[in-house]
Amino acid sequence: MRHSISLLVLFFTICSFAQKEFHVFPIDGKSIQGSPNGDGSLNNPWDLQTALSQSSERVNGGDIIWLHKGIYTGKFKSTLESTIKGKYISVAAYKNDKVVLNGNVDSNKNYVLEVNGSNVIYKNFEITFLGNFSRLKSDKNFRAVAGLNHMKGEDCKFQKLVIHNVPGSGIGSWKATGGSIIEDCMIFNNGYQGTRGHGVGIYVQNESDKTRIIRNNIIFNNYYKGIEVWSATSGTKREFVKNVSLTDNIIFNNGTPSGRPWSNLIIASGDADGINVAKNIKVKDNVLYHNTDFTDFKNFGYGNSLTLGYTPKALVEDITITDNVIIGRNNALNIMHAKSMVFESNIVYTGYVHLATSSLPALEMGHMSFNNNRFHTRKTAGLRVLKHKDYKLSDWKTTFGIDENSEWKQLKDFQINPVLKVVELKTKKNHFNVGLLQKEGKDVTVDFSEFDIEEGSSYKIYDIENRSVVAKSGKISSDIKITFPMGLKAFEKPTHNTMATKTSINLGVFRVEFETPKKKEGFFKRFFGWLF
C-alpha cells in the first residue's frame, strides 16, 4: 500500500510540472481546422498566426505548440517569448507530420516567417514557396521574400528546418539576435535573378557578446552566397558583425542557379569608417566546395569558397579558420583584407591562394598564424599577394615565419580521406549528415562503429540534392559499415530555373537515418511506461 501511495505521489508531482501542449491546424484542414477562436486544444485548435501571437501569460517557457500535418499558406509573424529563465517555448511539427509554411501569397510582407521574441525553439518544419511565382527581379509583380527573418530576440534555436525555393535569402538573422543557434537545417535553392544572383543561404549579424552558433547545416545551390557574416552598412559607429561560431557545416555550389559560382562563405564588412568590422569569428570543421574537375590540373575559372574581408577600410580581426576542407577553382581561398587571424590544419585546393596587399602588414608583423596546412595549387608559387608577389611555400615560410609544418603539393597529387564528415544531428539521435569526396566518383564505405548503432538496425540514405527519394536502404551488418552510392544523377532543381546543375560526381552529401530494432518491453516497462 505504501508503495502504491508513493507511485501516486510521484505521478501527481510529474503532472504538476508537466509542460502545457497546444495544437495548431491549417485553416483549410480537411478534418480539423485551425481557428483564431480556438483555445489551442486538440479538439479546438488555433490557426498558425493565432498560435504565434500568444502572450507569455498564455504560452511560456516549457510549453510546446504542435503544428499538425498540412500546408500553412500565408506570411506569419511570431511574437512568442519565454520569460522563464532557462526554459524555452517550442514550436515544432507534431510527431513525424510533414508541416509546410507556404509563403506564396499576395502580400507586401518580405518574409514567410518573421521572429521577434527570445527563448523560442522552431523545429522540424519546412519553409518554401509553392506553385507559380517569379524569380526575376525585372518582372512587374516580383517581390523579394526571405524564408525566415529573425529580426530580434536572443537565445532562439532554429533546428532541423528545411528552407528552400524562396525568392530571397533562406535565413536573415540580424544584429539583435545574440546567443541564437541555427543547427541541423537544410537551406537550398533560395534566391532570384537580377543583374546577378541574389539571395543567400544565411545572412548573419551579431552585436551581442553572446556567441552566435551555426552548426551542422547543409547549405547549397542558393542564387548568391552560402553564408554571409556581413554588413553592407557604413557609418553606424556600432559593432554588429562579431562573435560567431561556424562548425561542421557542409556548404557547396552556391551561386550556380544564377549561372556563376559565388562565395560559399564570406566574413566581412563594408563599413568605410572601419568601426563595424568583422571580428571574433571561428570557422572550424566545415566543408566548403565548388564543382571541381580533379583531372584538370590547370583549375581555371572563378570558384571561391572562402572570402575574408571586403574593403581595406574594414580589415577583419581575430578570425580563426581551423580544420576545414576548402575546395574550388582559381580563387577558392580569398584572404582579401585581414588584420589578424589564425589559419591552421586546413586542406586547400585552388588555382592560387589569394591575399590582398592590405593584408601584408599583418603578415609582416606576425599577426597571422599559419601552420599545419596542406595547399594544392596550380603552380609551385601558388601563394599570391595580389599586385605584389607570388610565393613558393618555402619562400613564404622564410619571408613571414609562418606555415612551418605546412606542405604544398601539385593539383595532380591531391589525395584526401573520402569521408569528409559524419556528424550526428543534435536534434535527432541516429540521424547523420554525411559528406563524401571521391575524385573518380566511386562509391564510398563509411564506418559508423564509433556511434551507438546496433547491428541489424535498418537505415535509409537520402541524397541531399534529391531529398524526397530514398537512394539506398537496408540493414547494417556486424561491421557497422555502409557503402554510399556516389555519382547519382537525379536532381531536385530550383523551381522556375533552367541554369542549375547537379553537383559533380566527386562530391556526395547525404542524410542517413537509422532505426534500431525494437525490443520486447519488460513487465515493469509495460505497466509503468508513463514514468519513462
Nearest of 240, 236, 254 to residue 198 by alpha carbon: 254
Would you place residue 14 in the very low, low, confident or very high pLDDT band (cuts 50, 70, 90)? very low
Residue 532 pLDDT:
40
CA atoms of 80 and 91, how far apart (whole Å): 10
Cβ atoms of 365 and 399 closer than 8 Å: no
Q: What is the DSSP string of 135-178?
A: -BTTSTT----EEEEEEE-SS-EEES-EEES-SS-SEEEEEE-T
The region of weakest confidence among 61-70, 204-213, 509-518 is 509-518
Q: 300 near 293, Cβ under 8 Å?
A: no
Cα separation of 418 and 356, whole Å?
32
Rounded distance between C-alpha atoms, residue 452 and residue 216, angstroms: 19
Residues 516, 532: Cα–Cα separation, whole Å: 18
Are the C-beta atoms of 203 and 226 separated by less than 8 Å?
A: no
Q: What pLDDT is recorded for position 526?
A: 53
User: If residue 51 lies in a helix (H) or strand (E), which one and from where to where?
Assistant: helix 48-52
Which backbone phi and psi does 412 adopt, to 5 degrees?
-65, -20
pLDDT of residue 391: 97
pTM: 0.94
Kindly report, residue by residue over 44-60, the tens digit of the pLDDT.
999 999 999 999 999 99
**Exposed/middle/buried for 127, CB within 10 Å: 0-12, 13-18, 19+?**
buried
Contact 334, 307 (CB under 8 A): yes
- At 346-391, the pLDDT tens digits run 999 999 999 999 999 999 999 999 999 999 999 999 999 999 999 9
DSSP assignment string, 393-445? HHHHHHHHS--TT-EEEEGGG----SEEEEEE-TTSTTEEEEEEE-TT---EE
Please give the Cα distance from 420 to 468 (Å, whole number).
Answer: 23
Give how far the C-alpha of residue 354 lies from the chain's centroid of Cα atoms, to the nearest Å. 26
User: Can you say whether residue 439 is alpha, beta or left, with left for phi > 0 and alpha for psi between -120 and 50 degrees?
Assistant: alpha
The span from the CA of 290 to the CA of 301, in Å, is 11
Average pLDDT, the chain: 93
Measured CA distances, 339 to 21, 209, 230, 367, 516 (Å): 51, 21, 16, 7, 50
Q: Cell numbers at residue 93, please?
A: 511539427
For 329, the enclosing helix (H) or strand (E) is none
Cell of 494: 530550383
Residues 51, 65: contact at Cβ < 8 Å? yes
Contact 278, 244 (CB under 8 A): no
Q: Of 185-189, 294-298, 509-513, which range is least confident?
A: 294-298
For residues 174 and 199, the answer to whether their CB atoms sit within 8 Å is no
- Its sign, for the CA torsion 323, 324, 327, 328, is negative
| Neighbouring-strand partners of residue 171 | 148, 202
The C-alpha cell of 189 is what? 535553392
Residues 276 and 235 sit within 8 Å (Cβ to Cβ):
no
DSSP code of 319? Answer: E
Judged by DSSP in three states, 230 sits in coil
Q: For residue 177, is pLDDT > 50?
A: yes
- Residue 99's nearest CA partner among 43, 30, 26 is 26
Q: Average pLDDT in the 130-139 region?
A: 96
Distance CA 483, CA 488 (A): 14
Query: Containing H/E element for 196?
Result: none
3-state SS assignment for residue 113: strand
Sign of CA dihedral 284, 289, 294, 299: negative
* Type of residue found at 48: L
How many angstroms separate the most distant Cα atoms in the chain? 87
- Residue 27 CB coordination number (10 Å): 17
What number is the average pLDDT over the span 488-508? 95
Encode pLDDT of 398-429 as tens digits.
999 999 999 999 999 999 999 999 999 999 99
Q: How far is CA 452 from CA 449, 483, 515, in A?
A: 7, 18, 11
Question: Is residue 13's pLDDT more than 50?
Answer: no
Decide which of 24 and 19 is more confident. Answer: 24
